[in-house]
Amino acid sequence: MRLGRTPRLALGLVLLGGIATLLVVAGCENGGAPVVSGKPYITSVSFPSEVVADRQPSPGTIGFSDPDGDVALVEFRCRGVSTGSFDPGVAGQASGSIGFTYWASSSGYYTVEITLRDVVGNSSMPRSFSYTAMPPPPIRMTAGALCSEFEENEVAGDLKYKGKLIAVAGYVESIDSSFGISVVLVDAPGDWSGVRCYFPESEAPNVANLRKGGYVTIVGECTGMLVSNVGLDHCRLE
């Protein structure tokens, strides 16, 4: 996750795996308790309810009021652990908004707690927002295109694709269970190199319906070069 004042700064921080969901609407907490003089107060927090994990940071906004105009720090906590802080740069403002950006590093559902502090250490009541980080969509390419990139430069192929979810389209060259259930996809029947896709046992009924020469799309996690084939693991038929 990265935080910062929008648009002038964006400070980085990691939020326990992170992703973010929506928000808090403007209003008082604790049944409309009045704002305590001298203490900052969070009036609202907004953030998308869904973001895509491992993509660009998503923007959020914190609405605030502070009679002394001396808010100096925005703090974030997730699951009881501090995950970062930054100076919002709003000295002298009795009310307004603070921008931040948030990066979701992995999929899941998360709740993040925000607290404001002023220059003498007074803190606001915490407010929280929640979000769901969705898995990124798979990279789509043909079996031949994926193999070509690894054959040209295996190191570059690993950096670009290893660990990523890929949807590979191609002709079924072979189906076997010698070392687990696997299917090799190629660009054209008879090609010597292809993408070997390994399936969990739960996918056996679906793989059993495949036929050599059929054209299919298989989604899996790229594991890099395996002798003459590029490997995909944890596969499923699309």
Q: What is the pLDDT of residues 115-131, one digit of tens each?
A: 999 999 999 999 999 99
Instruction: Tell me what pLDDT residue 37 has.
Output: 58
Q: What percent of the chain has pLDDT over 90?
A: 68
Give the integer Cα–Cα distance in Å for 199 and 206.
10
**Model confidence pLDDT, tens digit, residues 187-198:** 988 888 899 999
**What is the four-CA torsion angle of 150, 153, 157, 160, rounded to 10 degrees?**
-150
State residue 131's pLDDT score.
Answer: 93
**Segments making up each domain of the chain, as ranges:** 2-134, 139-237
CA distances from 200 to 162, 182, 206 (A): 19, 9, 11
Range in 38-52, 64-78, 98-112, 211-225 with the lowest mean pLDDT: 98-112
Of the CATH numbers 3.30.470.20, 3.10.20.30, 3.90.950.10, 2.40.50.140, which one belongs to the domain with range 139-237?
Answer: 2.40.50.140
Task: Judge whether residue 236 has pLDDT over 90.
Answer: yes
| Cβ-proximal residues to 52 (8 Å cutoff; 6+ apart), any chain | 104, 133, 134, 135, 136, 137
Q: In what order do the strands lie in the sheet with 95-102?
A: 41-46, 58-65, 95-102
- State the pLDDT at residue 176: 93
Mean pLDDT, residues 145-173: 95
**Paired strand residues for 100:** 60
pLDDT digits (tens, 9 = 90+) for 21-58: 323 322 333 334 444 458 999 999 999 999 998 878 89
CATH superfamily of 2-134: Immunoglobulins (2.60.40.10)
Q: How many CB atoms lie within 10 A of CB 117?
A: 18
Assess whether pLDDT exceeds 90 at residue 155: yes
Burial environment of residue 119 by CB neighbours within 10 A (0 to 12, 13 to 18, 19 or more)? exposed
The pTM is what? 0.61
Find out whether 130 and 88 touch, Cβ atoms under 8 Å. Answer: no
